[in-house]
Structure 1
């Protein structure tokens, strides 16, 4: 368990900023088909001054809300029946991601704050920025692997994604979507909904594991802050989805990658 995490005071005095920040981040996430947790995490650390693990736990809670509501938002484009037809893919990835989420949350709970800040900044956010630029705009096509090789690769990829999702408190869609498109040949819109179907149980496992750590009490101390920022994230994600057709990916993806890299620098310096 983490021993160096100070108890953070309730952030009720920042409620308008929390809603606005959640809305902007949700809009950014909605524009590229993510929940926005990757951008919310540096905000929780840099602007609202939460300790690293507390920020991850708060981020995980807000991500759960956004992901749970995103599936119904997308149902008009990708019906639940279509998702159900692709259950073998979901199960394949879940076989690894559930285990990865459990281990990732356990490792995060044992890391010192300074180490966790640097892991978040130097490894995870930079890696996500690269994936956003290189992989997120891929189109559906032939699956990279088939048969047993595809199944094994799916479990390994799911395990890695589960670890990343738990360490950052994110849904993991920025890694799941390229995996679904490249490894399984899924259409980009279908991949977005399938990633949500994988993310929800994966995040629940990580969230359960975090509940054993003393820092989990940050949710109770900041309940109002949590609800307000989560509400802003949901509103922003909905608005971002409506604006999707107006912003070309050629401009959007590099800009978002730059935001992530700047955030990584800020989190690193915060340590």
Structure 2
């Protein structure tokens, strides 16, 4: 499970001005992350605007990401949805070459019961021998995966190896840490709370901010995992305002604005998302200058 200790980055999907996928930008982004010492990469999570990509675009992006990565760091593919049978079909159709695990968000919009969520992930787990990371993000799905359901899944299915927790509830984090199997990974899904989650015993972070500042963020996470919170705290505090700006007008508009300013890729997003405003761009530029003078 050490593959997923540390910093994972949920990659953005760079686009060209005409809305097509910018593969040159994606190559530059992947190399930038690996040069920035992140531990693993997540392709086509929410930050990758997966909801606005066609099946064929997803296949091409996954294949291209694996090609450019070339085994340098572990890769995770975001494959989720609110129709269980369709998710299973997508996993079966997925070219797993170069990938180490699947990250699957809890069903959105349907608002299933806890038993429905359990049966959804049970069906996914039994359909594949790939490792699966749960993803609980109530702010997007309109339902919460309870600690009881998380730990039930963790105990019942060996290939469900961890959860990306973005509930924001420390009561929930505490319960999962107390009741989970020893080798089950609790991974922060929110940049701002990664350090305190690691203090509870968390395995690290799947980050948005890391797209723009991989070195600074991954160093903070590594220090935290070593238990050196005295050294990690200044790095964490240095990133507080930058992190807030990344989400001020929605994800990934903020981090794409930062990536454009850093010369990695453009800031184009697909509707219904829109690029960051001029005012937010100015604030982001000021923060980058402050962090990287």
Same fold (TM over 0.5): no
More strand by share: 2
| TM-score (ref. length: structure 2) | 0.29
More relative contact order, 1 or 2 (CA 8 Å, 6+ apart)? 1
More helix by share: 1
